[in-house]
Amino acid sequence: MRLEVDIRKTLQSGDRRFELEAVFSSQDDLTVIFGASGSGKSLTIQAIAGLVTPEQGRITVGGETLFDGSQGLNLPARKRGVGYLFQDYALFPHLTVRDNIGYPLKKSWPFHLLPDDRREVAEIMASFEITHLAESYPVELSGGQKQRVALARALITKPSILLLDEPFSALDSMLRHRMRMELLEIRQRFAVPLVVITHDPADVEVFADTLVIFANGRVKEVSGRKNLATPDEDDGWRAKVCWRAQWKKERLAAA
Amino acid sequence: MPDLTPLWLTLRIASCATLLAFAFAVGFAWLTARFTFWGRDFLDAILTLPLVMPPTVLGYYLIVVWGRNGWLGGWLHAHLGLSLMFTWQGAVLAATVVSFPLLFKSARAAFEGVSTEYEQAARILGDNELRVFFRITLPLAARGLLAGTMLAFARAMGDFGATLMVAGNIEGKTQTAAMAVFDAVAAGDYTLANTLVAIMSVVCVTILVMTNKLASRGRAGR
């Protein structure tokens, strides 16, 4: 998966002014955008998802151009085929877990699920081990359960890329570690490239094959692991995690 | 058994007025809640004005606009031969205007209470703007809209001044319950007055209790 971002956006609120100039690309299936809050990383993935329109530039995901200011091309969010995990999950409070997950499948009124879609929802619920929650409402779920439901809802549309906005910040630290491992495992199972934005170095250790560091609305550094010796693929992801941990520590220390 | 015609007429007028007010209020509320545009605060003020103006003043404005020589009423009369003055449709117009702000204010607050993040999530999941409105915004604002609708209905039922100015007080035609009470007391018919007052009070108290229930359950649910 190749992700290319080259965008500019200015936000003006009163006499406060924020200029975003995000230029980076990633070849890897695991990309971390790291930076302090207010560094422009959220704005960047919102632009990739189509929630924010840059003033100029270009966004390409896997060879498909989603935005090109010079050609006046700006695909609406609903046509980008991008998955997005909101920081606090944005599960629809008036719908059950089943209806939340089935939401993108039912396209026309009266929004009933067809048998095929019902089966698809049941399968993905089983694979996330949330079948027993099918009739629950989001308000009844724990943090970890909410995240699983949100992931299932985002992945059921088979997005070309999954964008995650501070995915673990709403969880306590015990759960955080478990959900990181789960997410890695899900990435492999669904074969979907991830872009994680975070200000937590622990996420960098686990998820960054390509690490993009943001500061003050600009990309300060992009580093990939392609030019480094990589562990054997058969080592599995646990070995990778350990290997990454060491490499990331060096990178962060250098940054 | 006293003559209850005014009561049925009141129900009919209030129902029509609430429907009309609902359509306009939801439209304007969504517009002002979701978009920032030049003159938005001014528009909000104009739309809320009927809440604070004396009903007779409102009625006067309505005559100026909808009367036979009015801006819109003149056109209606000249081209279609219609006039709203002294008809039950005129009473609907008056009741719509007086009840509109209650619905508008509730609807705007309800829409503003719906986090735009849910709407964004729906867009990313493949919804166009129309679907986002009907699948996310409207259902999440439903409680507030319903509460506002009930308040507006109660207000439309009880209007006196604006309706009197526009539709007059014609027995069996435009005489609503509020006016019938006035006439009954003036004529010393306390049986009729007591009956109408009792029914109106029960209806209004019921509506307010239900509105409060909706509002408190809405808070607990979030």
CB of A111 within 8 Å of a chain B CB? The answer is yes
- Over residues A103-124, the mean pLDDT reads 85
Rounded to an integer, what distance in angstroms lies between the CA atom of residue A107 and that of residue B95?
39
User: Distance (Å) from the C-alpha of residue B123 to the closest C-alpha of chain A?
Assistant: 5
- Name every chain A residue with its beta carbon within 8 A of the beta carbon of B125: 78, 103-104, 153, 157
Q: What is the pLDDT of residue A79?
A: 93
Rounded to an integer, what distance in angstroms lies between the CA atom of residue A88 and that of residue B180?
56
Instruction: State the count of interchain CB pairs (< 8 A) between A and B.
Output: 54
Query: Would you say A237 and A188 are in contact if contact means Cβ atoms under 8 Å apart?
Result: yes
Q: What is the pLDDT of residue A113?
A: 82
Residue A228 has pLDDT above 70, yes or no: no
In this predicted model, what pLDDT tens digit does every residue of B65-112 receive, in sequence order?
998 888 888 888 888 888 888 999 999 999 999 999 999 999 999 999
pLDDT bucket at B183, cuts 50 / 70 / 90: very high
Q: Is A94 within 8 Å of B140 when comparing Cβ atoms? A: yes
Residue A222 has pLDDT above 90, yes or no: no
- Over residues B38-55, the mean pLDDT reads 94
CB of A103 within 8 Å of a chain B CB? The answer is yes
What DSSP state is assigned to residue A126?
Answer: H
CB of A146 within 8 Å of a chain B CB? The answer is no
Query: Would you say A32 and A204 are in contact if contact means Cβ atoms under 8 Å apart?
Result: yes
- Name every chain B residue with its beta carbon within 8 A of the beta carbon of A157: 125-126
Q: What is the pLDDT of residue B120?
A: 96
Considering only the beta carbons, identify the residue of B118, B124, B127 that sits closest to A49: B124
Q: What is the pLDDT of residue A36?
A: 87
Burial call A42-56: b when 16+ CB within 10 Å, e when fewer: bbbbbbbbbbbebee
Q: Is A80 within 8 Å of B123 when comparing Cβ atoms? A: no
Q: What is the pLDDT of residue B117?
A: 95
Give the amino acid at B68: R
Tokens of A147: 């995240």
A19-25 own/partner pairs: CB under 8 Å, 24+ apart: A19/A217, A20/A44, A20/A54, A20/A217, A20/A218, A21/A217, A21/A218, A21/A219, A22/A47, A22/A214, A22/A217, A22/A218, A22/A219, A23/A219, A24/A212, A24/A219, A24/A222, A25/A222
Q: Is A92 within 8 Å of B136 when comparing Cβ atoms? A: yes
Burial class (CB in 10 A: 0-12, 13-18, 19+), A203: buried
The residue assigned the tokens 């692991």 is A225
Phi, psi of A92 (to 5 degrees): -70, 115
* Strand order through the sheet with A16-26: A73-74, A64-68, A56-61, A3-13, A16-26, A218-224, A210-215, A30-34, A194-198, A161-165, A82-85
CB of B201 within 8 Å of a chain A CB? The answer is no
- Name every chain B residue with its beta carbon within 8 A of the beta carbon of A83: 124
pLDDT bucket at A241, cuts 50 / 70 / 90: low
- CA distance between the termini of chain A: 26
- Name every chain A residue with its beta carbon within 8 A of the beta carbon of B140: 92-94
CB of B34 within 8 Å of a chain A CB? The answer is no
Q: What is the pLDDT of residue B221?
A: 45
The residue assigned the tokens 């909000």 is B44
- Over residues A133-150, the mean pLDDT reads 95
Q: What is the pLDDT of residue A232?
A: 43
Residue of A66, A82, A92 to mutate when probing chain B, most B C-beta within 10 A: A92
In this predicted model, what pLDDT tens digit does every residue of A151-181 receive, in sequence order?
999 999 999 999 999 999 888 888 888 899 8
Strands A56-61 and A3-13: antiparallel
Question: What value does the mean pLDDT of chain A take?
Answer: 86
Q: What is the pLDDT of residue A202?
A: 85
Q: Is B125 within 8 Å of A92 when comparing Cβ atoms? A: no
pLDDT bucket at A224, cuts 50 / 70 / 90: confident
Residue B135 has pLDDT above 60, yes or no: yes
Q: Is A76 within 8 Å of B121 when comparing Cβ atoms? A: no
Q: How far is the CA of A51 from the CAs of A70, A153, A243, B116, B120, in angstroms?
A: 19, 18, 35, 11, 7
Half-sphere exposure (Cβ direction) of B24: Cα atoms closer than 13 Å:
18
CB of A166 within 8 Å of a chain B CB? The answer is no
* Weakest-pLDDT range from A120-124, A177-181, B21-25, B45-49: A177-181
Q: What is the pLDDT of residue A234?
A: 39
* Weakest-pLDDT range from B2-6, B9-13, B107-111: B2-6
Question: What value does the mean pLDDT of chain B take?
Answer: 91
Rounded to an integer, what distance in angstroms lies between the CA atom of residue A179 and that of residue A202?
12
Tokens of B216: 């408190």
CB of A12 within 8 Å of a chain B CB? The answer is no
- Over residues A103-118, the mean pLDDT reads 82
